[in-house]
Structure formats: C-alpha cells, structure tokens
Amino acid sequence: MLDLLKQPWPWYVAGPLIGLMVPALLLLGNKSFGISSSLRHICAACIPAKIPFFQYNWKKELWNLFFVSGVLLGGVVVALFLQNPEPVQVNGALVSELQQYGISNYHGLVPVDLFNWSNVLSLKGLIMMVGGGFLVGFGTRYAGGCTSGHAIMGLSNLQLPSLVATVSFMAGGFFVANLILPWILKL
Amino acid sequence: MDSKETIQQRKHRRFLTENTDFEVRSLDAESFNESELIHPWYYNLKYLFAGLLFGIILVKAEVISWFRIQEMFRLQSFHMYGVIGSAVVVGILSVLIIKKFKLKTIYGEPIEFVSKKFNKGNIYGGLMFGFGWAITGACPGPLFAQIGTGATVIIVTLLSAVAGTWVYGKFRNNLPH
C-alpha cells in the first residue's frame, strides 16, 4: 500500500481529489477555494504601507494562511514519508530539448540544474526565480485569482470571467514556454 | 463625497471600493455570504489539515513539477489537462449538488455563491501570470508545496511573488481594469 502511495499518482486519482477541495472548504465554513490571495493577506498583515488595497481586516481571512501553511506541510510530509525514489518520467522530446541547455537532473520535481541557491544571483536565476515569482504574484492579483481561484473554483461556479482568466493563463504560458523560455535557458 | 464629482471620478471611486478579488469573500459589500460566526483561532486548524491533504495531492500528482508544466505548455503530455479537467468536473458537480440541496456548512450556515464582474485585469493579469507560470513552473499553491519538499531556494520565488502582489496593490489605480 505504502509503495503504491509513493508512486506518482495518476491524473484520474489526483484531479477528482483536488476537485473535492471545493465542496470541502465550502462545507467547512463557506470558504472559496483559492491560494494566491494568501499573498495579499501577507502584504496586508506585514507591509500594508497605507495602500488602500491592503487596508482590510485580514484576520477574517486567516483561514487562508492556515490553508497555505498546510500545503507547505504537505510537501514536508511527502518528502519524509511518501517520496518517490525514481526520477520524474517526462516526455522524450522534452528530455532532448532540455539536454541542449544542460538540464539533465530529473531527481527532484524542481530541476536543481535551474533552481538552486548558487544560481539565484546569475542572470538566468534572477529572471527565473525573482522575475518569474514577481509575474506570478503581480499577475494573479491583477487577474483576481490563480489556477485554484479561477480555473478550479471559478469554473466550478461557472463564472465567465474565470474562464477568460483561465484561457489567458494558458495563452500566456504557451507563448512564454515555447517562444521566450528557450532564450532564457540559453543564458 | 463632493457633489461636484465628475462621472469619471465617481467611476474611479467605485472601482477603488469594488472587490475585484475572486478569492477574498470578506471584502464583498453584501457580506451575506460571509460567515458571521466568531470562532477561536484554533477552529482554523481544520483548514491547515485541508491544506495538508491538498499539498500531498499536489506533490504526488507532480503538479508542482517544473517538468510537468513544460510538458503541458508543449502539449507533450495529457497529465496536467487530466488533473485540471477532472478537478473542474468534480468541482462543477459539487457546486450543483450544494445549490440543488441547499446544503449548509458544518455550523449550519447556508452556503452562498457570489458572481463576480469581468474586468480587463482578468486578461492582462491572466497573461502575466501565464508568463510567470511557464518560467517558474509553479502557480502559488505549488510554490508553498515545493518549499515543503525541501527546495528551499523557492523561498526567493515566493518572496518575489509577495513583492509582485504588493506592487500591484500600490499601482492598482493606474492600471487598466
């Protein structure tokens, strides 16, 4: 059983379980599933700087900070007890593409060839970690939600703006992954 | 408010007070959908547990993997489409059931849904998030989970995301919405 849990979970197991987070949070306390707003609450709690966008009672949204702390702990639990000892299995076409850029270590879900402490201050590291993170934080709040808030919660409630946002996420991702990222990886 | 306010100013003031956030319920003007119950802080521990399960699922399904995100954006694997698609189907069915049977929370409060208005940020912000998603290989949830699995350098990405949110908040009034 434990061996089975340690293997990567197929989409038809993981997807429905993720979908069940929507009713779980609603039934537990009328909460809308969403992760990116936690970043806003962190700003409101730590660095509000009299900006109107951060002037609200963030303590009412404390549940969300507990939720994301749980997500982090989930990562710890997997690392301690459910780690898959095998490297990540990816499409051969991607493997040969990434090989050109010197990415060959598939032992972590996060590629250590790209994301590591000694890379943070290189140009590539700055663009990928600092720049990429900035776009994630700025973009999700500008859009009013992220993959969980729009693509899962918003679509579950049949919200048209969430569909527009989801299509925009995908369009932006396709554009950068195929046309821009190769240039960044070459650096 | 000043009665000589122009239509433009009024529109702007309304926008500033409007909740454009699809995730933050407590900011909605009609707070009928927000829990009125006051609970001690440890009631929030159930959300910690829910998050823990969500985190485990994200990691075990490899949704937090940069490699899986690259496959998705190159149409090299069905995996991510299967995960998101089946999650949405289960989510839609759950919401339908909750609405149909008018289900209540475990504390007996009615579960309510609000419809949010479209604004241009859904497109511009959505595209920007898409750019970041392809580069970092992570949306906000996976950032937390990646740090948990021991990829401590992702703390830099997360802090930068907090900074991005802050800068958005700071310049929100000057951005097209």
User: B27: pLDDT confidence band, cut at 50, 70 and 90?
Assistant: confident
Instruction: Flag the least confident range among A29-33, B8-12, B123-127.
Output: B8-12
Strand partners, B104: B110
pLDDT given for residue A75 in this prediction? 98
Out of A61, A91, A173, whose CB is closest to B130? A173
> HSE on the CB side for B26, CA within 13 Å?
17
pLDDT given for residue B25 in this prediction? 81
- Residue B89 pLDDT greater than 50, yes or no: yes
Q: Do B141 and A168 touch (CB under 8 A)?
A: no
Contact B131, A62 (CB under 8 A): no
pTM (2 d.p.): 0.94
- Residue B30 pLDDT greater than 70, yes or no: no
pLDDT given for residue B31 in this prediction? 46
Give the mean pLDDT of chain A: 96
Contact B168, A138 (CB under 8 A): yes
How far is B16 from B1, CA to CA, in rounded Å? 14
- Residue B2 pLDDT greater than 70, yes or no: no
Nearest-CA distance A179 → chain B (Å): 11
pLDDT given for residue A61 in this prediction? 93
Contact B63, B142 (CB under 8 A): yes
More confident residue, A97 or B25: A97
- Residue B33 pLDDT greater than 70, yes or no: no
Burial bucket for residue A113 (CB in 10 Å: 0-12, 13-18, 19+): middle
- Residue A89 pLDDT greater than 70, yes or no: yes
pLDDT given for residue B35 in this prediction? 62
pLDDT given for residue B4 in this prediction? 63
Out of B67, B130, B163, whose CB is closest to A176? B130
**ipTM beyond 0.90?**
yes
- Token couple for B37: 């119950």
pLDDT given for residue B29 in this prediction? 57
Mean pLDDT across A117-121 = 95
User: A63: pLDDT confidence band, cut at 50, 70 and 90?
Assistant: very high
User: B1: pLDDT confidence band, cut at 50, 70 and 90?
Assistant: very low
Out of A136, A141, A150, whose CB is closest to B133? A136
Look-up: residue for tokens 């119950």? Answer: B37
User: A186: pLDDT confidence band, cut at 50, 70 and 90?
Assistant: very high
Write out pLDDT tens, residues A144-177: 999 999 999 999 999 999 999 999 999 999 999 9
b (16+ CB within 10 A) / e for B73-90: beebbebbebbbebbbeb
- Token couple for A58: 């963030």
pLDDT given for residue B39 in this prediction? 87
Look-up: residue for tokens 């209540």? Answer: B104
Strand partners, B110: B104
**Beta-carbon count within 10 A of A39 CB:** 28
Q: Do B141 and A71 touch (CB under 8 A)?
A: yes
Provide the 8-state DSSP code for B94: H
DSSP collapsed to 3 states, B34-83: CCCCCCCHHHHHHHHHHHHHHHHHHHHCCCCCHHHHHHHHCCCCCHHHHH
How far is A145 from A43, CA to CA, in rounded Å? 16
